[in-house]
Structure 1
Amino acid sequence: MQERFYVDPYQQTLGTVVLRHDEHGLVLEDTLFYPSGGGQPGDTGTLALADGTQLAITDTRRDKETRDILHLLASDTPRLPPGTPVTLTLDWARRHRHMRVHTCLHLLSVVIKAGVTGGNLTADTGRLDFDLPEGMELDKDQIEAELNRLITQDRPVRVQMTSGEALQRQPELIKTMSVTPPLHLPEIRLIDIEGVDLQPCGGTHVARTGEIGAVTVKKIESKGARNKRVVIALI
């Protein structure tokens, strides 16, 4: 299966064929739907059959054992036989907001120089948890101002590839303390925000920081002795 969301995260439609459809979900020859992972929700959208029938894709997940991408349809949808031609249409408005928030979280990890212990995002908000010394305070207004400064610089966002072996020699690039990248793989994606940040990530991102748009820091809260949660939102 070719995962088109890595080749071109801006692609919105795709013609492909069914490989398998069972109780676990629908597996296609190619897909542009991102499966839930790394704190980013799975994509939604529609699937069109040759006769014009439209079926809703309600979620996208990756099978933990086979690594296949599973497109989830309504439980009463008839099983589609292998070889059935279909056309995928992404819920682009939702995905694009995920891309904006996800890229902003990379900038947040630059503004707050501490290990990241967790994170999550929706189409409207995103959050990172930081490992900070007890008693250390964060300035909400200062963080918000710095985020928006980096956004308005409109820096290019590009993908680089490295190997697990090479990444082990650059441990400073791994910011997430709770999840270690798959260092056994020969290829690992790095997201490069020009002149600002370089870190491994398997999500989808915008092409330039200016595309994020203005953001606000909604709240900062303690989640333990050393854990501070920072929540950002698109405006």
Structure 2
Amino acid sequence: MELTTPTKLEFYDQMLKLQSKAILVHYFKGDDGRKALILDNTIFHPQGGGQPSDTGFICVTDSNLRFCVQDVRSKDGVVFHYGVAEDSSMENELEQGKGKEVILQVDESRRRLNSRLHSAGHLLDVCMRNVGFGHLEPGKGYHFPDGPFVEYKGTVPLNELQNKQREIEIEVNALISKGGKVS
């Protein structure tokens, strides 16, 4: 399937926006058997940057149809909302729904958790520099709830490790208590 129009990403400008409207562009079953909706715009954050995707619901306006969004991915600027219709007998409505208005609802608790875990990775980067680890380069970040981490490239002498761990903890707590923006 070739789609040339990228999905407008509302979540970059309005991270706390959890409900929105969009137009259904396409509904299909992928090669992997999963069903997906493509919309003209979205507030659903796709998986990426070491962060899991949003979940939630997409409802067709003036209908009882609810599509449970279980996974969101982006490819070549197009966002794919994977999931299932709550009532599978209504899937035909999705197949015929191109051009219809839909209402998007993001799961707030999951969005906030994902956001906090992602921000914690940025906070750790600042603290690493502040305690003298500026020579270490952040590599892979994993901001999933089952065990978030950031890997760094470089070396630290073993005799410094324990003291630096405590310094990082103190620095993290100091920056959190100050408040401010994390970028």
Q: Identify whether the pair has TM-score above 0.5, normalized to the shorter chain.
A: yes
Q: Say whether residues 1:149 and 2:174 are aligned partners.
A: yes
Q: Say whether residues 1:72 and 2:82 are aligned partners.
A: yes
Give the letter aligned to residue 6 of structure 1: Y
Match of 1:99 among 95, 99, 115: 115
Match of 2:51 among 34, 40, 43: 40
Say which SS state the counterpart of residue 74 (structure 1) adopts: strand
Match of 2:68 among 46, 56, 65: 56
Say which SS state the counterpart of residue 53 (structure 2) adopts: coil
Q: Say whether residues 1:12 and 2:11 are aligned partners.
A: no
Residue 135 of structure 1, CA deviation: 3.5
List per-residue Cα deviations over 1:195-231 (Å, max 9, x = no partner): xxxxxxxxxxxxxxxxxxxxxxxxxxxxxxxxxxxxx
> Higher Cα Rg: structure 1 or 2?
2
Instruction: Tell me which residue corresponds to 1:22.
Output: 28
The alignment covers a number of residue pairs equal to 156
Residue 100 of structure 1, CA deviation: 1.2
Q: Determine the C-alpha separation between the residues in 1 that align with 2:145 and 2:109.
A: 9
- Shift >6 Å, 4+ stretches: none
Q: Which structure dedicates a bigger proportion of its chain to strand?
A: 1
Residue 53 of structure 1, CA deviation: 2.7
CA change 1:107–1:93 in 2 (3 A) is same
Conservation of the 8 A alpha-carbon contact between 1:17 and 1:84: yes
List per-residue Cα deviations over 1:84-116 (Å, max 9, x = no partner): 221110011111111111111111012123101
Gaps of 5+ in 2: 1-6, 31-35
Identity %, equivalent residues: 26
Gaps of 5+ in 1: 158-190, 192-235
Computed over aligned residues only, the root mean square deviation of the Cα atoms, in angstroms, reads 2.0
